[in-house]
Amino acid sequence: MTNYRGSIRKTLVLSIWFTLLAALQLALNIRDDRIVFVILYSVMLVVFAVLLILTALDLILKDTTTMQVQVIQTRRDIIKVLKPNGRKRRIRVVSDEAGQYREGQQLELTLTRRIRQVLEVKQLAEGEK
């Protein structure tokens, strides 16, 4: 579980970095009266700030949801699963765990509530649902 939480921390660090860069570019372009770039970096700043806030809330509040899925394809450290609503989702798993998943297997995913990143992957017994 620590490896999954580490990827969320990396997302948080990158969103902080990109938010700061967008804010700096916005300030520089406001100073130089470049209206097109002001609009561009304003939009980018809002997007990165929202990502930053949502990621920080997920790490601080630790709200989670669970979802039961079925493995439909495995390839190295990426598994493709079928969600209950019929849509497919690709999940990157920890390299050490990659070999233990097989097609048709039922898994329970623990996801963050806001950005829906995987925190934990549990295998369900054949009878569980």
pLDDT for residue 7: 87
Going by DSSP bridges, is the β-strand pair 64-75/78-82 parallel, antiparallel, or unpaired? antiparallel
Query: How far apart are the C-alpha atoms of 77 and 17, rounded to whole Å?
Result: 27
pLDDT for residue 48: 97
pLDDT for residue 96: 77
pLDDT for residue 94: 81
Mean pLDDT by 10 residues, the chain (129 residues): 80 96 97 96 97 94 93 90 94 82 92 92 75
CATH architecture assigned to 64-123: Beta Barrel (2.40)
pLDDT for residue 1: 54
Please state the pTM of the whole predicted model: 0.78
107, 122 Cβ separation under 8 angstroms: yes
pLDDT for residue 5: 84
pLDDT for residue 98: 73
| DSSP secondary structure code for residue 124 in this structure | P
